[in-house]
Chains A and B, each alone.
Chain A
Amino acid sequence: MSGQSRALLALRWRMVRRPGVRVGMLLLLLLALAVLVLGALAAAAVPLDLAVLAGTPGAAELGNMADPTGEVAVLLPTAMLAFLATSMIGPIAAGGSYELLPASQLVAFPVRPRTAVRLSLLLTPLNIAWYLQLVLLTWATAYAIRGPYAPGLPLLVLFSYVLACTGIGQSLAWLVVGFRKRVAGRVVTRLVMVALVVAVVVIAREDLVPGLLDSSPTVKVLGAMLGAAVGQPGVWVGRTVIMVLAAAAGYALTVRAAGWALRRPGDRGSDAHASAPLTRRELRRTPYAQLLSIDRASIWRSAPLRRGLFVLGGLPAAAGLIAGLSWQSIALLPPLVASGAALLFGVNVFCLDGPGSVWIATLPGYPSLALRAKRRMVLEVSGAAVLVVVVLCGLRAGRAPTVTELVCVLGSSVGCVALVSAISMRLSVTRPHRADLQGPRDTPAPPGSMALYSLRLATLTTLLGVLFSLASYSNSIVAPVLITVGTVLFATWSMRRTEREWSRPETRARVVSTVSAG
């Protein structure tokens, strides 16, 4: 690691002032490693049915080398493909890379692109979607790929694939950032987006998914893992070396692409959106509506939030359209989407006002109006994103839902949006951070906090989604209705608690001084 990377990491570590938080972060790091390693060991120790599945991708290629596998192995190529998608979309959604410190705080320091790339790679596991998929792939590989050299060698193949995906994903993201600085690049990226949407629709309509998955390059990765498990170097060594070389090339390209993208002058100037006059809007009828109007504009006029909203609504919807999810599976989507919406800005919602929060705090009606408006924004954005995803996926479900399935999907949507909003408001009031969400890679909180928030939101909402998904297999609506009512009541209680906390002048002063700090 370079001197710059070490210095910035040390600075960020020193900025975590509370010893308890430091200990918590170290424990979390250990836990993340333990989950990965111990989970893999446990999965490898599970006794297997020795029957070889005839349909296992790679089995045909390898003949009888494919020793014991399970149904899990069949899904590995698809799961690896999903991991590749996450590795590419994550950095693109983040505006190129993950930042340890906002770029605006480092303008006085000559931070090299190489440093930014290294730190971004280091921060990649904090992307909860990336980490969870890595865990699932590791466990699945350890469980499904058996042989004298398993799980060691198959996991070596898997990790080389993970490195290759991560390197390629980050280089692609920086190339997109650089291309979009000129009009031709923006046109091309929009055309690519349109082409992707068309492709999704065609794949969904023509039912091309099975054929595409069978010809996916990840089938060859599975073949390499199977070969590695039974000690066939001719099968796995070459492919692994190619993936390691791809990872190294991806890293080198990322460094070059980041340097190019950061240096490349934009044809709209560096502050095009800030210097363009906007259409003047009518005065709203009430102060609350006026505040909401400004909050909505603050979200839409922020580049990272706008990009995040597109990814949040578009990605799960596209995945659902391609996969043709069942209603039971659709019930699992609201947790993902609602949590994603909260992580865009909801977990630190007062940062929407940035330095202006001091001025707003001096206006009559401030405390209650501001809290109501911010709560409404979190509910509105997470609710709208969930609605879009559920409706689009529902159209592809193949049949109308039963009453129970409908109640479960509705319950999952309402419950998750309510729960996520309550947690977001609580965090916003009790754990404010300085963030103005103006830069292309800005996040509402520092990377460590974002990882903790992701974990907290994902754990609670996924649990809720799984409950609804399981309940949708039954014929009774009693359980989903009870779970929904219970969740909404809990969220309401939590919001009331947050209101009481917000009513304290000391709390408001702390929030305002933190989010407005220059």
Chain B
Amino acid sequence: MTPATATTVVDVRGLTVRFGSVPAVADLDLRVPAGGSVALIGRNGAGKSTTLRVLAGVLPPTAGRVIVAGADAVRSPMDARAAVGYCPDVGGLIPRATPWEHLQLAAQLRSLDEGWKSRAEDLLNRFDLTSAADRITAGFSHGMSRRMSVLLAAFHEPAVLLLDEPFDGVDPLGVDATMEEVARARMRGAAVLISTHLLSLAVQACDEAVVLQRGTMVAAAPAAELAGTDGAARYRELLA
């Protein structure tokens, strides 16, 4: 894992989340530097989405410390939220609001300057959602909803970009747009965390991979080591 440095943007120590008596995440340590990207991979129920939800400020941790962009997600949730852009694993869109209304709400609540409109138009264009910008999201396909959720997460150019299953059901052009947004975020020094089951895309998007199993980290390695057939075989061994 990357050691904690002055440029560490995401710093998670001893994160534990329990749902009743069921442990979802147990004593997890995780650090992501500025400009770095980490893939959270693992089987269903490994604790990937739960970890991202805690980082996004949606879910309070049972124990541990979570710092995002210098803000404690528990003690200073407002500062943490301001620094984070989050694409949840399912849904993430208000069913009877349009994409443009989502963007307006985000611009208002995040106090974005006048330039937000041109950035919004640019993102809608890049994610091929311009023609759907004024339709309610309840009529969107799964792939369109995913693209819109990634767009919303990246809209305010956050210091921490959290993408939970951003490629699920997304067409190749949508995947390209997401990859481009991840690259842009890293270029401006943001920390990126991606949870996905698509190993090849995780390897492509991230420079480090963390394998979770039943809420604990079982491996952390450069993402490139999980590339190709050999990497996939090694990943399967870790999951077994």
Q: Closest B residue to A518 by CB, please name it.
A: B90
- Which chain B residues lie closer than 8 Å to A293 at the CB level? 101
Q: Closest A residue to B61 by CB, please name it.
A: A505
- Closest CB in chain A relative to B117 CB, distance in Å: 9
Instruction: Please report the C-alpha to C-alpha distance between residue A17 and residue B57 in the assembled complex, in whole angstroms.
Output: 28
Instruction: Please report the C-alpha to C-alpha distance between residue A293 and residue B96 in the assembled complex, in whole angstroms.
Output: 12
Q: Closest A residue to B56 by CB, please name it.
A: A362
Are B94 and A360 within 8 A (Cβ)? yes
Q: Closest B residue to A283 by CB, please name it.
A: B104
Number of A-B pairs whose CB atoms are under 8 Å?
138
Chain B proximity mask over A244-288: 1 for CB below 8 Å, otherwise 0: 000000000000000000000000000101111111110110110
Q: Is B78 an interface residue (CB 8 A)?
A: yes
**Chain A interfacial residues counted at CB < 8 A:** 47
- Closest CB in chain A relative to B6 CB, distance in Å: 25
Q: Closest A residue to B104 by CB, please name it.
A: A283
Q: Is A366 an interface residue (CB 8 A)?
A: yes
Q: Is A87 an interface residue (CB 8 A)?
A: no
Instruction: Please report the C-alpha to C-alpha distance between residue A358 and residue B56 in the assembled complex, in whole angstroms.
Output: 9
Interface centre among B97, B107, B149 (most CB of A within 10 A): B97
Chain A proximity mask over B58-72: 1 for CB below 8 Å, otherwise 0: 111000000000000
- Which chain B residues lie closer than 8 Å to A516 at the CB level? 88, 90-91
Within 8 A of B (CB), among A297-322: 297-298, 301-302
Select which of B59, B82, B86, B93 is within 8 A of A356 by beta carbon: B93
- Which chain B residues lie closer than 8 Å to A354 at the CB level? 91, 94-95
Q: Is B180 an interface residue (CB 8 A)?
A: no
Are B86 and A359 within 8 A (Cβ)? yes
Within 8 A of A (CB), among B96-130: 96-98, 100-102, 104-111
Are B98 and A278 within 8 A (Cβ)? yes
Known: A297-B97, A355-B91, A363-B106. A278 touches B60 (CB 8 A): no
Known: A283-B107, A518-B91. A364 touches B135 (CB 8 A): no
Known: A359-B152, A360-B94, A362-B58. A301 touches B108 (CB 8 A): no
- Closest CB in chain A relative to B71 CB, distance in Å: 11
Q: Is B77 an interface residue (CB 8 A)?
A: yes
Select which of A271, A278, A290, A505 is within 8 A of B105 by beta carbon: A290
Are B58 and A271 within 8 A (Cβ)? no
Q: Closest A residue to B117 by CB, please name it.
A: A283
Q: Is A438 an interface residue (CB 8 A)?
A: yes
Are A287 and B139 within 8 A (Cβ)? no
- Closest CB in chain A relative to B182 CB, distance in Å: 18
Q: Is A436 an interface residue (CB 8 A)?
A: yes
Instruction: Please report the C-alpha to C-alpha distance between residue A298 and residue B95 in the assembled complex, in whole angstroms.
Output: 8
Q: Is B134 an interface residue (CB 8 A)?
A: yes
Chain B interface: which size bin?
35 or more
Q: Is A509 an interface residue (CB 8 A)?
A: yes
- Which chain B residues lie closer than 8 Å to A362 at the CB level? 56-58, 81, 84-86
Q: Is A365 an interface residue (CB 8 A)?
A: yes
Q: Is A353 an interface residue (CB 8 A)?
A: yes
Known: A302-B96, A358-B58. A364 touches B136 (CB 8 A): no
Instruction: Please report the C-alpha to C-alpha distance between residue A283 and residue B97 in the assembled complex, in whole angstroms.
Output: 14
Within 8 A of B (CB), among A485-506: 505-506
Within 8 A of B (CB), among A350-396: 352-366, 369
Known: A354-B91, A355-B92, A359-B93. A512 touches B58 (CB 8 A): yes
Q: Is B138 an interface residue (CB 8 A)?
A: yes
- Closest CB in chain B relative to A511 CB, distance in Å: 11
Known: A281-B101, A287-B109, A364-B78. A298 touches B134 (CB 8 A): no
Interface centre among A277, A291, A356 (most CB of B within 10 A): A356
Known: A278-B136, A362-B81. A356 touches B98 (CB 8 A): no
Q: Is A294 an interface residue (CB 8 A)?
A: yes
Instruction: Please report the C-alpha to C-alpha distance between residue A353 and residue B56 in the assembled complex, in whole angstroms.
Output: 18
- Closest CB in chain A relative to B133 CB, distance in Å: 8
- Closest CB in chain A relative to B174 CB, distance in Å: 18
Interface centre among A287, A362, A364, A518 (most CB of B within 10 A): A362
Within 8 A of B (CB), among A199-244: none
- Closest CB in chain A relative to B138 CB, distance in Å: 5
Known: A506-B60, A509-B60. A278 touches B134 (CB 8 A): yes
Q: Closest B residue to A284 by CB, please name it.
A: B108
Instruction: Please report the C-alpha to C-alpha distance between residue A512 and residue B59 in the assembled complex, in whole angstroms.
Output: 9
- Which chain A residues lie closer than 8 Å to B93 at the CB level? 355-356, 359
- Which chain B residues lie closer than 8 Å to A301 at the CB level? 96, 136
- Closest CB in chain B relative to A185 CB, distance in Å: 23
- Which chain A residues lie closer than 8 Å to B81 at the CB level? 362-364, 366
Interface centre among B53, B57, B92, B105 (most CB of A within 10 A): B105
Known: A358-B91, A359-B93, A436-B95. A274 touches B138 (CB 8 A): yes
Interface centre among A283, A293, A366 (most CB of B within 10 A): A283
Known: A505-B60, A509-B60. A363 touches B91 (CB 8 A): no
Are B96 and A297 within 8 A (Cβ)? yes
Interface centre among A276, A302, A363, A516 (most CB of B within 10 A): A363
- Closest CB in chain A relative to B125 CB, distance in Å: 16
Select which of A278, A283, A364, A438 is within 8 A of B95 by beta carbon: A438
Task: Pick 16 A–B contacts, CB within 8 A, sort by A.
Answer: A273-B136, A273-B139, A274-B138, A287-B109, A297-B97, A301-B136, A353-B94, A354-B95, A356-B91, A356-B92, A356-B94, A358-B58, A358-B92, A362-B81, A363-B110, A369-B109
Name the 4 nearest CB pairs between A and B, nearest first: A355-B91, A274-B139, A356-B94, A505-B60
